[in-house]
Structures are given as C-alpha cells and as structure tokens.
Amino acid sequence: MMRVAFTQGLASHSVLRNGNKSVMLRMMSAAMPSQKPVNPEFSSGPCKKRPGYDVSKLDSRVLGRSHRSKIGKERLGYAIDKTKSLLGVPDDYLVGIVPASDTGAYEMAMWNMLGQRNIDVCHWESFGKGWFADAISHLKLRDTVEVNEHTADYGSLPDLSKTNPDNDICFTFNGTTSGVRVPDGADFISADRTGLTLCDATSACFAMNMPWEKLDVTTYSWQKVLGGEGGHGVLVLSPRAVERLETFTPENRPLPKIFRMVKKGKVDRAIFKGSTINTPSMLAVEDYIDALEWADSAGGVPALIKMSEDNLQVLEKFVEENDFIDFLAKDPSTRSSTSVCLTLDLTADQIKAFVALLDKENVALDIGGYRDAPPSIRIWCGSTVETADVEALTPWLKWAYEEVKK
C-alpha cells in the first residue's frame, strides 16, 4: 500500500492506494494561524500591564523607606489626588487606600455601615452573591433589618427597579465573572434616595463612566483596569457615607483594626490623605502611580473607555461571524467591555481543553471562566489590552475550537 500526502487550501489530505481502490481521507484540521498576539495576557485579575510598562522605570526613592516618612506620605497622597482627578471624583468625596484589595474595601464598608436600615442586595454573579452571603451569614443582618435579595442567573440582570430608595442598596457595577454590567448611568438609583448605595466597581472604574452622584460607597482595586498589583483596595466615600459613619455605630459588632475608619465619633480623615491603616507595599504604590500617569498621558478616562470598548467591538464582530461562540451576557446594552465572558459550543471538558490548548501555544493565558460560572471562557478587554492583540487572538479562537471539536 502506498500513501501519498498533499495539501490543498486549509486542509491536508491523504490518499490511500491499494490495488484498484482509492480512498481520500480529509483531516479536519484548520491551518494554525500565523500571527500570535504580541502579548498573550488576557487574565481578568491581576490584569495585563500597560503598554510599554517597565518595572525598572518605577520611582525607587520610596523603597526601603517608611510609609510614614515624608516621602512615603507624599507619594500616597499623590496617588490619592491623582485618582480623584482622573476619575472626576467630586471634591467633597473622600478617597482612601485600604488593605486587602477590592474585597477588603467592600467588606470595610459593609461592616461599618450596614444595619441602620433595610437592605437590598443585587447580585448576578459570584462576587455579588458573596456580599449577600456575608450580609446574612456573617453580619447576620436579618436579625435586625430586612435583607432583600434581587438576583438573576449568569448572563442576566435582576429587575433593579424593585430596589427601594429608602433602603441601602448593595450591588456590583460590572459583574467580573458574568460579563454583565448595570446600565449606563445607573438610572435605577434615585437621586432622592435616603439609603446609601454600596457599589463594587472593581472591574468598572477607569473603563466605564462612574455616575458619582448615584454612588455613596465605591470600591475597586488597582489590579483590574489599570493593570496594577494586587493586595490594595480603594475606598471612595460620599458625604452621605461619611455622615452614616459618624452617626451610626452597629451594636455588638466588633471591628478588626484594618476595618476601623472612625475615631471618637469622627471619620479618620488622615486615612484619606495617605496615612494608611496598615503598611502598604510602596512598590505597589509606585506601580499604581505609574499606571495613573500612563492613563493621564493616554487621554484620561474617556480614552481608556474607548480602548476597552474597541476591544469589545473586535469580539462582537467575531461572535457575529461565528456560530460556535456567543456572549454569556444576554443584553448587548449591559454587556461588559472589560470582563468579556463567552460561551462555546463545547462540553465543559472540551472548554478546559480549549483553554489549555491556547495556553500551550502561548496565545491566550488565563482565559478560563470563573470557577462558579457556567462553562465558558473569559477574555479581559480592559484598557491595558491592545486592540491589535484581541484582533490577533480571534483566528486562534476558531482554530482551537476546531482542534478540540474534531
């Protein structure tokens, strides 16, 4: 028997000759794309560093120095002032650097402020669900107030209009693990509300417009849209949130030191000027300052929003042209431009193989869906990811699908 192999177009063929019999076998394997993303980092946190990042260019004067030193306080204060300026945070709001990433910042707010009035917790993905669980299981708020749950499956939003403006409202601006965000402007929040809004905006800040007049407590971490390092959170407080801190003390609720924001009945404003509660990594602070200065030089938040939306548009076009892939988010108007979650016409095990294949080829790293989400992939499209890399990724998505499916 003689085997003759040849190629034609994108498919390879084999001809088997045995006497008068001839059989052609088509190898269902698309040609591997020739161009890879320059940077294969599409992780949803910690996220890709900014274009042109060079750790050796960070200001090292503060390394080895106390965060309480003059230069330490100056750099922390500068990071806070630059944050307020870039994000357009109102002058009468407070911005502070706090421990334990976005999680620490949000828990700080919950443990200090919730319990004065009834609460609406809105969640449609894992982190919002976690805030609800903490409210009822650890803070045990249902012992003293009503805690209402407004929820929806992954890919959808709950009916946010059912929230009560007289209640405190806890919600996630952008669902990092579901790819679903609140509508632009957050119109479900009343301008005449009497309750507070507590907003987890960790994968939204710097890539989406923040309606500050609707937000009383806002939290995020450096590691998301700006590609900073993990471990530190940012807490933004409106005057109404400050008033709550100074007029409400939860009964029988001990607070660990890293959660304490009030001294002798007044908010400790030193925290919001750079005197952090505990010791921060000054290297991480300098890394954050580098990201802030890059964002400013790139055109500020409007430019960062456009970068992220441009990345999303590349994937929207790809999804429109390919039947095997779709967005987890059902409504395009609430589709995240940062944490883009996608479903595939594959089994859960095949999706794992798909992710592993792209990782092996060094094409897309860390794109597996979140562990609590439906079987899916998650491609970070925040502002530090370059659109050319998303464009280079899309042919590989099709190639990997065909490799796994065959």
CA angle in degrees (0–180, nearest 5) for 54-60-61: 155
- The pLDDT score that the predictor gives to residue 29 is 56
Farthest-apart Cα atoms in the chain, separation: 97
- Residue-wise pLDDT tens digits, 292-331: 999 999 999 999 999 999 999 999 999 999 999 999 999 9
For the chain, what's the residue count?
Answer: 406
Structural element, H or E, at residue 351: helix 348-360
Cα separation, 8 vs 27, whole angstroms: 11
Closest to 107 measured CA to CA, from 98, 95, 118: 98
Cα separation, 229 vs 186, whole angstroms: 28
Asked if 16 and 28 count as a contact pair (C-beta separation under 8 A), the reply is no
- Residue-wise pLDDT tens digits, 245-269: 999 999 999 999 999 999 999 999 9
Cα separation, 224 vs 319, whole angstroms: 24
Conformational region of residue 5, where left means phi above 0, alpha means psi within -120 to 50, and beta covers everything else: beta
- The pLDDT score that the predictor gives to residue 67 is 97
Cα separation, 385 vs 326, whole angstroms: 21
The number of angstroms, rounded, from the C-alpha of 398 to the middle of its chain's C-alpha atoms is: 25
Report residue 277 as tokens. Answer: 């509660």
Report residue 137 as tokens. Answer: 């299981």
Closest to 87 measured CA to CA, from 220, 251, 266: 220
The number of angstroms, rounded, from the C-alpha of 152 to the middle of its chain's C-alpha atoms is: 19
Asked if 114 and 98 count as a contact pair (C-beta separation under 8 A), the reply is no
Report residue 55 as tokens. Answer: 């750790």
Give 41's contacts (C-beta < 8 A, 6+ positions apart): 47, 48, 49, 365, 366, 385
Cα separation, 155 vs 335, whole angstroms: 9
- The pLDDT score that the predictor gives to residue 194 is 98
Q: CB atoms < 10 A from the CB of 20, how many?
A: 5
Asked if 225 and 338 count as a contact pair (C-beta separation under 8 A), the reply is yes
Residues of the chain with pLDDT under 50: 1-28
- The pLDDT score that the predictor gives to residue 86 is 98
- Residue-wise pLDDT tens digits, 209-254: 999 999 999 999 999 999 999 999 999 999 999 999 999 999 999 9
Asked if 351 and 307 count as a contact pair (C-beta separation under 8 A), the reply is no
- The pLDDT score that the predictor gives to residue 88 is 98
